[in-house]
Chains A and B, each alone.
Chain A
């Protein structure tokens, strides 16, 4: 199994210290955070692609950004522990991601309101003026 599914091994048996899956569950390390962030990211992408409510699509984008933030913070902690690189750059980057997300939400919701006023709908398959 170790050779067939190395990614599964990433989730359950990757550290040199952890000899069993149980040991690895008891001591989560960087890879667990990365896997959680990847799952959140995939959920967000699936939401963007499948939902038709503009507001829910925006929320899925927030989920995606949040998954990226989790990655930044996890690597920030990893750098703190290993002493490589600037340990706080991940946290700084996260601050900016949050700022950009807030700006994006404000503008996006403004667009949603303007759109609703003009077209009376927020379903993306009815907003097809630019479709040819």
Chain B
């Protein structure tokens, strides 16, 4: 897989944007700013997905993450109303034992994995696939030429989404059903968790002891 031309320009723009927005997500003092930076990071990663030819996943990423999850986040941030901003540098480095242990493991990780194992494996993989990679761009261009043209005649229609959907329902139909059950559980669970005491009382779903306590308090 080798990008070229404008693709590589956009690759660098969006990857740098994703990393910067990710950094700012973690560093911003205000939770609302964090959420907004996370949105821009997610959008940049969606653009990288489009560069990689995964248009469907990019659309899902924007719809589900940006349109759904992050809006939920923003709602909750405003609901809990975190007034106080986070305090600055507490002494997280003032713990010699912990910092030493962290450095030892960082050294092991860097020494064995990053310096030795990953580059060796990667280079071996690259060598193995060199022949296929050389032809991949030409193959991709030819496949693009075979695509149907859109109504305007300018752009071409990709069959990517169709193929993703087909394999989702053939190879991954059981996990797909399990995912739907998971979402149902998540819906019910979050509704149960977010109920107020009043709503719980209305649904007659409170421990009798707690209920009598509330009643004695309110009277």
Contacts and interface: CB of A to CB of B under 8 A. Distances in A.
A29 B1 contact: yes
A21 interface: no
Contacts of A58: 73
A127 interface: no
A29 B2 contact: yes
Interface string B126-137: 110110111010
Interface in B166-219: 167-168, 171-172, 175, 179, 182-183, 185-187, 189-194, 196
Given A14-B122, A16-B130, A43-B26, A63 B41 contact: yes
What are the 7 A-B residue pairs with the smallest beta carbon separation, nearest first? A110-B193, A103-B186, A81-B136, A47-B26, A110-B190, A6-B119, A82-B132
12 contacts: A6-B115, A14-B122, A14-B126, A33-B48, A46-B26, A50-B92, A60-B26, A62-B42, A81-B139, A91-B57, A103-B183, A105-B73
Contacts of A131: none
Chain A's interface: helix, strand, loop or mixed, by majority? helix
Given A80-B53, A100-B182, A110-B194, A105 B22 contact: no
Contact of A82 (B25, B65, B123, B136): B136
Contact of B22 (A44, A74, A92): A44
B25 A59 contact: yes
Interface of B: 1-4, 8, 11-12, 15, 18-19, 22-23, 25-26, 31, 34-35, 38, 41-42, 45, 48-49, 52-54, 56-57, 60-61, 64-65, 68-69, 72-73, 76-77, 79-80, 82, 86, 92, 114-116, 118-120, 122-123, 126-127, 129-130, 132-134, 136, 139-140, 163-164, 167-168, 171-172, 175, 179, 182-183, 185-187, 189-194, 196
A73 B187 contact: no
A73 B52 contact: yes
Given A82-B132, A96-B179, A70 B26 contact: no
Contact of B73 (A52, A55, A111): A55
B3 A29 contact: yes
Interface of A: 5-7, 9-10, 14-17, 25-33, 36, 39-40, 43-44, 46-47, 50-53, 55-56, 58-60, 62-63, 66, 69-70, 73-74, 76-78, 80-84, 86, 88-89, 91-92, 94-96, 98-107, 109-114, 116-117, 122
